[in-house]
Structures are given as structure tokens and as C-alpha cells.
A = this chain, B = another copy of it.
């Protein structure tokens, strides 16, 4: 199966702590890397995870709070030091353009490859990126500043080639891509072998959604159906529910409630407040609502299946 891996680089929140780094994740989709949020220290975490900067094709920023974007200028500078020439696309709320465009102008001498900033809609869901492998849509989130999450849907995968049938009919290598795409095979003596006989059905497409930072938004449930994995922020424990609502964050139980409404295979919670010395309290509270919950942690790598 093609790669669809999630690497957690940081799952802390605004107040820094030694236990966690601020928000950053890498999604490896079919071998290409996509960065989601870029808190301070992201480049250090990429090094630790042995993830090559040059493989990053695009960056998706949810909002302009520093713990989600203060690592961007450093990362781009390092990419340039490493002689990157490929453009990079940076998506985010319009303030991503307002805030970073002047900085990129200031550092034009140091960041010598094209950085394309794209303002994305944050009040409605919209497809903002699509290629052969996947597409990305925005998820409107409710926070203290303009903010959106992102949903990554794998494009319907191609069927798997049956090696035994290919060998049996001695089908040459050059014909295989056409067969995967739906072509039949014509033998030398005129027999037509239907492509269904030469392939196994495709795997189900996989999907990942990242919802951080946000208050509980049940109205987003229709946008979050059929997910393999849902990441939802769970900054606070239930005992801090009132404070969570005041500051536009969710409790662990609310994150789990979103999973109840949307039924992903798994729920991954993160963006933990520094007040908790042990995040298992948050895990326990979430699991009481949605049992298939796991805890984000720096260095965690999940393969979506």
C-alpha cells in the first residue's frame, strides 16, 4: 500500500514546556511530505525524525498564533541554505500573507527560492489543493483569531495488479500502468482479458483531518465523515471546560464527542496545555467518550490503513 504516514513533531500548546514542542506535523502521502503548522523548533524536530526538508512540497498553517507559525522563517531559511530551488507553497488564513510577505521581502537575499503564499477561505470548506495523489479541503474552525483546519483525502487509489495473471499472460512491463488505469489486455491470438481479471480491487481511499485550534464545533461533523484518522485538539481536561470555552479551545471530552459524531477509525488528541504534567488524564477523559482515542507525542508516527 502506498505510504500515508503522520509524524508528530510537536503537540504542545502556546505556553512552552520541555515535555512538548509547539504544533507541527508531517504528512507523508505517497512519499511526498506536507507540513501542517510550523511552531518554533519545527526544523529541529524534522532533524530528529530524519525527515528531509527538501521533500516538503507544501505547508499548511491553521492560524497565526505563534505556537503554530514561529518556526516558518527559520525552516525556509534553512531550506535555502540547503540550496533548495523548488518553489514551496504555504497555505493559511489571509493573515499568513499579511504577516509573512513583508518578512520574505526582508529576507529575499537569504531565502532564494520561490515561496508562494496562498490565503485560503476559513469560513467555509473549500478544496485548496489537488494533485494525482490527494486533495486538501479547509475545515472552518472557531478560535480567537481566523483559523481553519485541513482535511487530506487520498484520491481513489488504483487497483492492485495480480502478479500471477501478469506472469500467466506474459504481459510486458510497459502495459501495466494502462491496465491499472482500466485497460483490458489483448493477447497475441486475439483473446481479450478484462482488466478486472488482471487486478484486485483498489484499497479504500484514506483520509486525515487536522482540527486545531478550535472550540467544539459540532456543525463541522458533515465535513469530517469517513476519516481514517481525526486529529482534534484537546487542550484542557473536563475540569477546565469553562476556561476552554473562554479561550476558544476544546476539552478532551469535546474532542472525543467530535469523534462520536464523525466516526473516524481513530481519534488522535493533542495541543496539550502545559498545566498537565501527564497527558494520560486527557486520554482517559477522551476514551470515556470515544474508546479508539490515542495520545499524540513527539516522535509518534502513525501509518493510516
Contact = CB atoms under 8 A, between A and B. Distances in A.
Interface in A59-96: 65-67, 70-71, 73-74, 77-78, 81-82, 95
Nearest to A77: B66
Nearest to A107: B66
Interface in A16-49: 16-18, 40-41, 43-44, 47-48
Nearest to A48: B18
Contact of A44 (B18, B66, B110): B18
Copies of chain A in the complex: 2
B65 A110 contact: yes
A16 B47 contact: yes
Nearest to A78: B16
A38 to B, nearest CB: 11
Interface residues of A, number: 30
A14 B66 contact: no
A106 B110 contact: no
Which 9 pairs of residues, A with B, have the shortest CB-CB distance? A66-B77, A40-B74, A70-B74, A16-B43, A41-B41, A66-B74, A15-B81, A99-B106, A18-B47
B98 A14 contact: no
Contacts of A95: 106
A190 interface: no
A222 interface: no
B78 A73 contact: no
Contacts of A110: 65-66
Contact of A66 (B48, B65, B73, B102): B73
Contacts of A47: 16-18
A67 B106 CA distance: 15
Contacts of A67: 74
B40 A43 contact: yes
A6 B103 CA distance: 32
A14 B81 contact: yes
A16 B44 contact: yes
